[in-house]
Amino acid sequence: MESSAQLFNQLKTADPFFLLAGPNVIESEEHIFRMAKHIKTIASKVGLPLVFKSSFDKANRTSSKSFRGPGMVEGLKILEKVKLAYDIPIVTDVHETIQCEAVGRVADIIQIPAFLCRQTDLLVAAAKTGKIVNIKKGQFCAPSVMVNSAEKIRLAGNPNVMVCERGTMFGYNDLIVDPRNFEWMREANSPVVADVTHALQQPAGKKLDGGGVASGGLRELIPCIARTAVAVGVDGIFMEVHDDPLNAPVDGPTQWPLRNLEELLEELVAIARVSKGKQHLNIDLTPFRD
């Protein structure tokens, strides 16, 4: 497997973009292996570098009754097996500083959840593993905050950092994606990733039978946000994918159906190929004269 620096350079120079994709959470070893096999096949077919994603513990669920995953020890064993079996890099998230060292022995990219994007100790611990760090922008943060978060990684001695837009709170139970953030987040001097699935969550927006709430989502708008992101010229697309979204134990309303993945990625690649989103347009303000 490549070193962190080699993988980071491969991803940030990907043409037209790289892909972070997989099911939201590890449901079973068999399910992870099946998803990795299909997603790798599709990514290879459309010509996108893939980093396979899944979480071992969903520590920030809306309800204490929600499925969280197998936990770190068992989850990392599964992720390491799938990494070796399919020769693909892995991205997974951490929630506490004490998780970083163990996760860094398996994952190629350590992801910082949006709620924790300003937690200095967590950022530093992730940075010190030497692995690539993907920081999700908090739903409550301006894009400029990511400049500071990325700098915390670099000051800890790790230059391999990327920043990820995942939507901004719009009222109590909705998120909105401001396309300007894709441009403004470039000020972090890092690859910019668009999370096109979590960005369409409706946090705590679905009432449950028997009381309580869960997060809903607007899966049908995933193509809209993804098309916008690649047209603007993001470096990477993050998306959660499931073979049976209606029965997914976590975040089903915002996981993209596996059967539609190839179709969507082919369209996104086509858009990115004709867009000049990664090129700076020089604006000429001198007076126009006939």
Kindly state the DSSP code that residue 61 receives in the 8-state scheme: -
Strand blocks (E) in 196-234: 201-207, 213-217
Is the bond leading into 89 cis (omega within 30 degrees of zero)?
no
Give the span between the Cα atoms of 25 and 242, in whole angstroms: 10
C-alpha 165/C-alpha 137 separation (Å) is: 5
CA distance 272 to 148: 29
| 3-state percent helix, strand, coil for the chain, nearest multiple of 5 | 40, 20, 40
Residues catalogued as catalytic: 24, 58, 251
Catalogue the long-range contacts made by 113-122 (C-beta closer than 8 Å, 24 or more residues apart).
113/60, 114/138, 114/139, 114/166, 114/198, 115/60, 115/139, 117/141, 117/145, 117/146, 117/149, 118/145, 118/148, 118/149, 120/152, 121/97, 122/94, 122/95, 122/96, 122/97
9 to 6, 28, 162: CA distances (angstroms) = 5, 32, 11
End-to-end CA distance of the chain: 59
β-strand 168-169 against 175-176: which pairing, if any? antiparallel
